[in-house]
Amino acid sequence: MIRVPLTDTVLNTHLQGLTPDGMSIFLLNNGAMRGAFFHGTRFVNQLRAQHDLGILETLVLGQAALCGALLIPTMKGRDRAVFRYDTRGPAAGFSIEANSEGWVRGFLLQDPIPIEKPLDSWDLSPFFGPGTVTMTRFPEGFAEPVTGTIEIKHRNIALDLAEYFGVSEQTPTAFNTGIQFDREGRVIGAGAMFLQTMPGADPELVEAAEHAFSSAPSLGAWFAEGGDRDDVIHGLFRNCAPLVALERQIVFDCPCSRENFANHLSHLDREELEDMAENGPDPLEIVCHNCGSVYQFSKTEVRSFLG
């Protein structure tokens, strides 16, 4: 990925005053439940810069990518997963890929999202119509991916992802995301949390943990004000014997490279390459839809692929 620098000096000054991005993976009630709490303010800002997104587009893809980051603790080995939302509403949907190595990438199916009037709330449901939530997992060692699909029920990314886990994976799970903007539209705070019930958990302990989860502060505002992860985990779940088991770095990144795209070009049909070399633009630009990186190839380079 060609990393786009964050050049807003006001934003950068604000980011310097925040706690570091990162994910805390924790257990409750001696392992009866597991969860993860992700500070992703810089993560969302990088996503926004890569795709050059407006406020609404940042909110949609930001929430989706935060949820994607929370999929990583559910993986084993060198797994990866693609979380896709296809809707007949104005937003159209998104595709998010999360990798167990600790990176997330993705894109909107419609950018910009058409709007008829200025935003008057952060409720995204008017932009999501009927459609589907699809999860495709690529477990390490499996010959074929495993895919599950459900209908969109809530028109809310976090709630629909939780619905997917409950219906398709038979695992009670809750998700919460938050993105805080300032008056000029900068992302000044972003975070996400998930909580998952393990088989055989005591129903009373589960109820107490779920009640605590539902009492969480606005996660975007929490991190925007300099809050850290430990205070929320140990404060919110103080009656559930919280134990932070692992800290992880999760970033918005993409394994694309100029070399990879050059390899793809070299394997195109000869007729197609000849047409590019003769009639195509100079330079040829290839955009990675997952991260917005732009790679340029001169006509001389395109001709070199002809051998």
CB 41 within 8 A of CB 187: yes
User: Residues 6 or more apart from 172 whose CB is under 8 A from it?
Assistant: 165, 166, 196, 197, 206
Element (H, E) at 147: strand 146-151
Same CATH fold, 258-304 and 9-252?
no
What Rg, from alpha-carbon coordinates, does the chain have? 21
Q: Is the pTM of this model over 0.85?
A: yes
Q: Is 243 helix (H, G, I), strand (E, B) or coil?
A: strand
Between helix 41-51 and helix 9-16 the angle, nearest 10°, is 160
Euclidean distance between the first and the last CA atom of the chain, given in angstroms as a whole number: 27
Distance CA 73, CA 174 (A): 14
C-alpha 20/C-alpha 163 separation (Å) is 31
Peptide bond into 281 cis (omega under 30): no
Residue ranges per structural domain of the chain: 9-252, 258-304
In tens, the pLDDT along 152-162 reads 999 999 999 99
Give CATH for domain 9-252. 3.55.30.10
Q: Does domain 258-304 have CATH number 3.90.1280.10?
A: yes
Band (pLDDT 50/70/90 cuts) for residue 213 is very high
Residue-wise pLDDT tens digits, 15-44: 999 999 999 999 999 999 999 999 999 999
